[in-house]
Structure 1
Amino acid sequence: MSSITDLCRELRQRETPAEKLLWRHLRNRALFNRMFLRQYPICVKSTFGRNFYYIPDFYCHEALLVIEADGPIHLLKKDHDKNRDEVLASLNLNILRFTNEDILNNTQQVLTKISEML
């Protein structure tokens, strides 16, 4: 079984075109000098003492901001995504979700919404 670190590396290697485009605008503190990480594991301990990991597409610890780039698969995972967002929100994280289509076709609007959260 691979480690969570290996899984994150694999996800970074299989990024979608939308993730790749958004990463170009977020990396190297390009937006408001805030550091974003890609496919960074966030650990949540359950009431039973077990660790669960959530791996957002982009994460800024300074702003407590999670950004998700949702592709077509997310249409089938709405309940899962809703539960995941609730867990992350319970950690005082703000979650922004954008469709891959919005990221690719309305990049400036997406960056404006992210900027407003920073």
Structure 2
Amino acid sequence: MPSIIQLCRELRQKQTPAENKLWNMLRNREFMGRKFLRQHPICIKSVMGKYEYYIPDFYCDEAKLVIEADGPVHLYKKDYDKNRDAVLKGLGLTVLRFTNEEIEKDLIAVLNTIRASL
């Protein structure tokens, strides 16, 4: 089983066109001077004492903001995503979800929503 670091690297190498489009706007403090990371692990300790990792598509630590670019696979993961979002919100994070289609077709609206959350 790959380490969490290896898994994050693989996810970065296999990003979707929508993720790539959004990343090009967020990277290198280009968006409102904020530092965004992509496929960065967030570690939590479960009630069972076990460590679990969530890997958001994009994360801004200073704003405590998680951004997810949801492709078609998320249609089958709604319960998982709902639970995951609740856990992340419980950590004090704001979670924004956009479909790949929203990112591809109306990037300006997506960026305006992100700007409002920062």
Q: Distance in 1 between matches of 2:14 and 2:108?
A: 24
* TM-score (normalised: structure 2): 0.99
For normalisation by structure 1, the TM-score amounts to: 0.99
Alignment partners' CA distance in 2, 1:2 and 1:112: 36
- Give me the whole-angstrom Cα distance separating, in 2, the residues matched to 1:83 and 1:49: 18
Letter in 1 for 2:104: L
Please name the residue that 1:71 is paired with.
Answer: 71
| Residues 1:36 and 2:36 are matched in the alignment | yes
SS in 2 for 1:34: coil
Report what 1:115 is aligned to.
115
- 2: CA distance, partners of 1:73 / 1:47: 28
CA distance in 2 between counterparts of 1:21 and 1:106 reads 11
Q: CA deviation at 1:74?
A: 0.4
Distance 1:78 1:48 in 2: 24
Equivalent residue letter for 2:24 = R
Q: Cα distance, 1:2 vs. partner? A: 1.1
Q: Structure 2: which amino acid aligns with 1:20?
A: N
- Residue 6 of structure 1 and its aligned partner are, at CA, apart by 0.1
Matched, 1:48 2:42: no
Question: Aligned residues: percent identity?
Answer: 63
- State the secondary structure of the residue aligned to 1:12: helix
- The offset of 1:47, in angstroms, is 1.4
Q: Which runs of 5+ in 1 are unaligned?
A: none
Q: Distance in 1 between matches of 2:54 and 2:31?
A: 24
Number of aligned residue pairs:
118
CA distance in 2, matches of 1:44, 1:52: 5
2:105 aligns with: 105
